[in-house]
Structure 1
Amino acid sequence: MDINDVEDEDFGFSRNYFLAKESGTSAKKSGHKLSDIDLVPEEELRAAAMDLQPKHEKEVKALMDSYRSLYQDWLFELRCGFGLLMYGFGSKKALTEDFASTTLTEYSVLVVNGYLQSVNIKQVIAAVAELLWDQIKSSRKTTESLSKAQLPYNSKSTDEIFAFLDGSLAEENDSFVCVLIHNIDGPGLRDTDTQQFLARMAACSHVRIVASIDHVNASLLWDKKMVHTQFNWCCHHVPTFAPYKVETTFHPLILAHSGSGQTAKTAAIVLQSLTPNAQSVFKVLVEYQLAHPDEEGMTVNDLYAICRERFLVSSQVTLNSHLTEFKDHELVKTRKHSDGQDCLYVPLATEAIEKLLMEISQ
C-alpha cells in the first residue's frame, strides 16, 4: 500500500471523527417527555411480576446450602465482635432470617426492615436495650437487684441507653443482642444522622449487627472510623439470585402508573437526562414552590437572582435555555401572576414535589 493512501485514510478517519463529535454536540436537547413514558396500572404490573416463574431452582438451592455451611463461621465472627455485612445480587432477606432462626437461638434478635420509609431509629435503640435487659434477667438466678434499677429503655436520654448497651451490667462477655437489618442502605436509614446512630449502637459491647446492602453506593454511607471501628464490618459476598418481592412492595414501580408518587419518579427520570446545573436550577424552583404554596409561582427575575447568587447561571440567556428545556419536558409551566407577571410553577401536587425533591437530592 502506498504511503499516500495510508495518509489519506488516516485523514479521512480523523475528519469523520471530528464531524461526528461536532454533530453530536449540536443536538444538546433531549426529546424525552413525561407523556412519552408508557405506564401501566401498578396492580397489573405487580401481578405480572408475582407470576414470574423462578429459574435454576436446583442451582439456587445448592447455593443456599453452601451458605448454611458457613453459619457457624458467621456466629464465631459475631462472638469475636465483628458485624456481618451481606452483599451480592438478590434478596438476602430469607438467608439472613434463616441464619438468625437456626443459629442465633441463644441470643435475642431484633429485625429492622430498612426498606421501609417509616423506620424510627430511636425506637429501634430502645427496643434493643429492652431485649438486652430481658436477656440479662433470664440469665441470672436472682433478679432482685435488677428489679430495683431503673429500666434503661424507659429513659428519655439516648446517651443513657447507649451507656447501658456498652456497660458491664451483663455478667457474660458473650451476652449480646443481634440486630438484623434488612437493607441498612434503604431509604428509611440512608440519612447521615441515622447512620451515625446505627454506628454508635454497633460499637456497643452488647450489640451485634447483621445487615444487608443492595445499593451500588452503599459504602459511601460510612467513613473509615465507622467501617473499621464502630460497625467493624466483616463483609460476605452472598449472591442469592432471589427476587426482591418484599423489599419492592412498598415502593412505586418505575413502569407503573400510581398517582403522585409515580409522577415524581417519572419526573426524576427525565431530570436525569439534563445537566447538573439544570437540575440545580429546577431544585431552586421546587424549593420556592414548597415554601410559598399560596403563590401563583416564581417570577423569572426572582429565579434568575437566586441562581446568579448561587453561581448556577452566568446570564439570562443561560437561564432561558434551562427554562426552555423544562418546558419542553413538561416539567415547568407558566401562568400569570396577579400583577401581570409571568410565573413559573411545577405542575405537580405538593406530595409529588416533595418526593421529587428527595429523588434529585440523593
Structure 2
Amino acid sequence: MDFNEPEEEEFGFSRNYFLAKEAGTSGKKSARKLSDINVVDEQELREASANIEPKHQNDIAALVNSYKSLYPKWVFDLRCGFGLLMYGFGSKKLLIEDFASTALAAYSVVVINGYLQSVNIKQVITALAEILLEQLKSKRKLPSGSLPNFQQSFRSRSMDDLCAFLDRPEMDENDSFICVVVNNIDGPGLRDSETQQYLGRLASCSSIRVVATIDHVNAPLLWDKKMVHTQFNWCWYHVPTFASYKVEGLFFPMILAHGSSNQSAKTAVIVLQSLTPNAQSVFRILAEYQLSHPDDEGMAIDNLYSLSRERFLVSSQVTLNAHLTEFKDHELVKTRRHPDGQDCLYIPLANEALEKLLSEIS
C-alpha cells in the first residue's frame, strides 16, 4: 500500500486550485460600464409591473387569515410589556394594520411607515406625548394648572424630555398604553443608528408598546443586546404572508429604470461597496471637497493626492491613479478643464444625491 498517495492527491488538488486562481486573475479587466445597461423609463416599467396578474391569491388570503387566531396572544404579550416583531417573506403591512384596527381597538394606535424617506422621529415622539397628555387629562392624573404648560412646550422640548414624559410612573399600567405600529422598522427612513436608539428608548417607556415588521435579512444587526432584550423586549413571530410589496415598492426607484439622481446614487453605492476601504476614503475626500466648494470646477488631482497621502490612503501617485481609473471606468468620477488649463476631478451627482451617497457608504 502506498501511504503517500493521499498526500499526492491533496498536493495535486492544492496545485490545481492555485493554478485556477492565477488563470482567473490574469484575464483582462472588464470594460463594462453602468451606462451600458439597457434601461427603460421608470413609469413604463411600473405600468408593466402593475399589469402582472397576481397568483395564489386565495391561498395567500387563507394564510393571512389563519394568523388571526394569534391576535389574543399578541395582545397578551403587549399587556405583559413585550414588543412584537414580525418577520417572514412577504408584506406584513395589511396583517399588522388589521391586528391594530381589530384587536387593539380599545387602545390608542400610532402608525409609522418606515419605508418612507421622510419619516421624522421627533414629530412622531411629539405626537405620542400629545396623545398621552390627553389620556392623562381624561383620567385627571395631572394637576389642572400644569396642563397648558405641557402642551405649549412639547414642540420645543428636547427628545430626552419627551421620552421622560412618556415614561411617567402613573401610566405604568399594563391595561393602558399607546401602541406604536411600525411598518418596516428596518426601512430607509428609520435605518440610521440615531433613529434606532430613539426607537429603543421609546419602546422602553412605560406607556408605549411597539409592534413592528422587518424585511431585510440583516435587520437584527441594527440592535445590540441591550436594545433587543431590555428596550424593545421583542417577541419574535414568523408570519410569512407571501403578499406583494406593492405599497412599499411605490417609494423605491426601480433598479432597471433610469432617470432620477437618487437612482444614480444607489448604483454608485453598489459600485463603491465593491471597492477597497482606501478607495472609498479617496472618493469621500473628493465628495466632501465638492460639497464644500460648489462653485469650483472640481478638485485638482495634485490636491487630492496631497490629502490622500496625508491620511495614509495612498503611498504614491501610481496608487492614486489606480483608484481614479476604477472610478472613471464606472463613471463615478469625471474630469473637466479648469480655466487655468488644469484638469479637475468632479462627481456627476447633485449635492443632495451626493450627501445621501456619503451617508450610505459611511
> TM-score by structure 2 length?
0.90
Asked whether the equivalents of residues 111 and 180 of structure 1 are also in contact (C-alpha less than 8 Å), the reply is yes
Higher deviation after alignment, 335-344 or 71-80: 335-344
Report the counterpart of residue 39 of structure 2 in structure 1: 39
Report the counterpart of residue 311 of structure 1 in structure 2: 312
Distance 1:176 1:144, change over 3 A: closer
Deviation at 1:160, TM superposition (A): 3.5
Q: Map residues 94-173 of structure 1 onto 2, 5 A cutoff.
A: 94-138=94-138, 140=139, 145-146=143-144, 149-150=147-148, 152-155=150-153, 156-158=156-158, 159-170=160-171, 172-173=173-174
- Output the amino acid matched with 2:182: I
- 2 CA distance for matches of 1:64 and 1:5? 59
- 2 CA distance for matches of 1:343 and 1:200? 47
Report the counterpart of residue 358 of structure 1 in structure 2: 359
Deviation at 1:3, TM superposition (A): 10
RMSD: 2.7
Distance 1:152 1:200, change over 3 A: farther
Report the counterpart of residue 246 of structure 1 in structure 2: 247
Deviation at 1:235, TM superposition (A): 1.2
Report the counterpart of residue 184 of structure 2 in structure 1: 183
Report the counterpart of residue 74 of structure 2 in structure 1: 74
Give the share of equivalent positions with the same residue, in percent. Answer: 68
Asked whether the equivalents of residues 60 and 242 of structure 2 are also in contact (C-alpha less than 8 Å), the reply is yes
Higher deviation after alignment, 126-135 or 10-19: 10-19
Note the alpha carbon deviations across 1:18-48, whole angstroms, 9 max, x for none.
2221122234844331211221111111112
- 2 CA distance for matches of 1:64 and 1:39? 36
- Output the amino acid matched with 1:47: E
Deviation at 1:211, TM superposition (A): 0.8
Report the counterpart of residue 260 of structure 2 in structure 1: 259
Distance 1:177 1:328, change over 3 A: same
- 2 CA distance for matches of 1:248 and 1:153? 37
Deviation at 1:57, TM superposition (A): 2.2
- 1 CA distance for matches of 2:239 and 2:121? 27
Deviation at 1:78, TM superposition (A): 0.2
Q: Map residues 83-98 of structure 1 onto 2, 5 A cutoff.
A: 83-98=83-98
Note the alpha carbon deviations across 1:51-79, whole angstroms, 9 max, x for none.
22222223222221221110110000000
For the pair 1:55 / 2:58, whether they are aligned, the reply is no
Report the counterpart of residue 194 of structure 1 in structure 2: 195
Distance 1:305 1:146, change over 3 A: same
For the pair 1:296 / 2:297, whether they are aligned, the reply is yes
What secondary structure is seen at the aligned counterpart in 2 of 1:110? strand
Deviation at 1:96, TM superposition (A): 0.5
Asked whether the equivalents of residues 268 and 359 of structure 1 are also in contact (C-alpha less than 8 Å), the reply is yes
For structure 1, the 5+ residue unaligned runs are: none
What secondary structure is seen at the aligned counterpart in 2 of 1:247? helix
Note the alpha carbon deviations across 1:282-306, whole angstroms, 9 max, x for none.
2221121111111111112221222
Note the alpha carbon deviations across 1:256-311, whole angstroms, 9 max, x for none.
11222222222333334433332222222112111111111111222122222223
For structure 2, the 5+ residue unaligned runs are: none
- 1 CA distance for matches of 2:172 and 2:273? 55
What secondary structure is seen at the aligned counterpart in 2 of 1:116? coil
- 1 CA distance for matches of 2:110 and 2:98? 14
- 1 CA distance for matches of 2:352 and 2:172? 51
- Output the amino acid matched with 2:254: L
